[in-house]
């Protein structure tokens, strides 16, 4: 292994420093902060879902500032065109008076891209993100351009006001490493938000990491060890999301239309590795896999009509699966 225990401890301390710095400005949202960081460490993209005004945009902007990454925000609307995201060729006059085409890069060419209310744009515009997210490239008029390094898309959508929205197709949902639910704040957190946002006090955020240290952290995450029994546990977990499986839980068979594909398994392992690094370990534990299961799988499971009518959610099913298959590996 290229990295030693001391280096993992140092990286863990640095990542905790990042968390503390973010928490100076963002009240609560512990899980949202952690899983956004896990996604970045695992070199993946995250989808944040929550009601309007819960600070999703502010969270992402704060993280980009603490990590010292270039940031751009794309407000998705029904009239947004693909070229508004990727950029386009414009005619430019040269010094000698001639005209030539020059590429004008769009907001996608940042290290951290916030795709705000992604489900408000048309499918054609949504798909402009697909190549950038999957291949880390953008093709414009046959010319392929590489994205910045590191590159992350953090998209937001709110679960209400579905009129005039275009729900993300399964293929695009699957591109997101995890789906993070941003909860409504508690009374105490609301009080703290009020104090921080309505007073004269300004918070100066320190830049804790940069592009190079993030790329190093991503390399360390890749080299985290995953024991055979941990892989087997993760595989059993993903297989159990399918209603047609012989050993699937009766509730999964009754309420789930379809379960997670191979990307779900990859996401579990990647997020579990990132969680291990945050906790200063270079091996994945059962606790890592269990804690990342819901964000990694909730957007990859579809409830059937009976499930939706009964008020069952993907999180309910994953919780049921976790309690059923935990005997599969010695804990």
- pLDDT by residue (tens digit) across 8-44? 888 888 888 888 888 877 777 788 888 998 999 998 8
More confident residue, 28 or 261: 261
Quick check: 59 and 32 in contact, CB under 8 A? yes
Same domain as 231, residue 170: no
Q: Do both 57 and 136 map to the same domain?
A: yes
The answer to the question of residue 91 being in a domain is no
Same domain? 297 vs 149: no
Position 152 in a domain:
yes
- Do residues 147 and 235 both lie within one domain? no
Instruction: Name the token pair of 67.
Output: 């990590």
pTM of the complete model: 0.86
Same domain, 138 and 76: yes
- Alpha-carbon gap, residue 279 to 283, rounded angstroms: 10
The pLDDT-based confidence of 209 (bands split at 50, 70, 90) is confident
Q: Read off the CATH number of the domain in which 120 is found.
A: 3.40.50.300
What H or E segment, with its residue span, contains residue 243?
Answer: none
Last residue of a domain, one of 163, 179, 214: 214
Higher pLDDT, 51 or 230: 230
Do 306 and 173 reside in the same domain of the chain? no
Q: For residue 76, what is the DSSP state?
A: -
Query: Are 244 and 180 members of one domain?
Result: no
Domains in the chain: how many in total? 2
Q: Are residues 150 and 115 in the same domain?
A: yes
In a domain, 106, yes or no: no
- Tell me how far apart the alpha carbons of residues 118 and 102 are, in angstroms, rounded to a whole number: 28
Q: Indicate whether 157 and 253 sit together in one domain.
A: no
For residue 241, being part of any structural domain is answered with yes
Residues 231 and 278 in one domain: yes
Nearest C-alpha neighbor of 44 from the set 274, 260, 208: 274
In a domain, 136, yes or no: yes
Quickly state the pLDDT bin for 330 (edges 50, 70, 90). very low
**Within a domain: residue 85?**
no
- pLDDT higher than 90, residue 162: no
Confidence class of residue 296 from pLDDT cuts 50, 70 and 90?
A: very high
pLDDT score, position 291: 92
**Coil, helix or strand for 204?**
coil
Both structure tokens of 26: 């963002």
Helix axes 5-23, 211-222, angle to 10 degrees: 130
**DSSP letter, residue 225:** B
Domain that holds residue 255: 225-328
Residue 309 lies in a domain: yes
Q: pLDDT digits over 73-85, tens only?
A: 888 888 888 888 8
Question: From the CA atom positions of the chain, what is the Rg in Å?
Answer: 21
- What single-letter DSSP state applies at residue 242? -
pLDDT at 329: 42
Structural domain ending residue among the three candidates 214, 241, 266: 214
> Both 193 and 261 in a single domain?
no
Measured between alpha carbons, how far is 76 from 155 in angstroms, rounded to an integer? 10
201 pLDDT band (50/70/90 cuts)? low
Of 214, 245, 262, the domain-final residue? 214
Q: Domain for residue 219, yes or no?
A: no
Output the domain CATH number for residue 296. Answer: 1.10.8.80
Are 230 and 169 members of one domain?
no
């Amino acid at each position: 292994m290229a990295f030693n225990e001391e280096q993992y401890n140092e990286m863990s301390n640095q990542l905790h420093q990042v968390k503390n710095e973010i928490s100076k400005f963002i009240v609560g949202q512990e899980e949202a902060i952690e899983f956004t960081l896990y996604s970045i460490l695992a070199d993946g993209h995250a989808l944040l879902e929550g009601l309007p005004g819960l600070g999703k945009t502010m969270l992402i902007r704060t993280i980009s500032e603490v990590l010292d990454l270039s940031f751009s925000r794309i407000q998705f609307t029904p009239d947004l065109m693909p070229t508004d995201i990727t950029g386009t060729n414009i005619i430019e006059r040269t010094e000698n008076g001639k005209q030539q085409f020059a590429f004008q890069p769009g907001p996608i060419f940042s290290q951290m891209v916030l795709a705000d209310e992604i489900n408000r744009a048309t499918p054609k515009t949504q798909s402009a993100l697909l190549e950038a997210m999957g291949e880390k490239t953008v093709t414009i008029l046959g010319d392929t351009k590489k994205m910045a390094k590191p590159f992350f898309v953090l998209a937001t959508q709110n679960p209400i006001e579905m009129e005039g929205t275009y729900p993300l197709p399964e293929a695009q949902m699957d591109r997101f490493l995890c789906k993070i639910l941003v909860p409504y704040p508690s009374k105490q957190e609301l009080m703290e938000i009020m104090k921080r946002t309505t007073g004269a006090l300004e918070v100066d955020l320190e830049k804790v990491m940069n592009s190079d240290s993030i790329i190093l952290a991503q390399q360390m995450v890749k080299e985290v060890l995953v024991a055979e029994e941990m892989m087997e546990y993760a595989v059993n977990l993903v297989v159990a999301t399918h209603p047609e499986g012989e050993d699937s839980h009766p509730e999964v068979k009754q309420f789930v239309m379809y379960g997670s594909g191979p990307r779900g398994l990859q996401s579990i392992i990647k997020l579990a590795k990132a969680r291990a690094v945050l906790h200063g370990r270079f091996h994945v534990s059962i606790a890592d896999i269990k804690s990342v299961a819901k964000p990694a799988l909730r957007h990859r499971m579809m409830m059937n009509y009976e499930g939706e009518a009964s008020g069952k959610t993907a999180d309910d099913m994953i919780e049921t699966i976790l309690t059923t298959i935990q005997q599969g590996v010695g804990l």
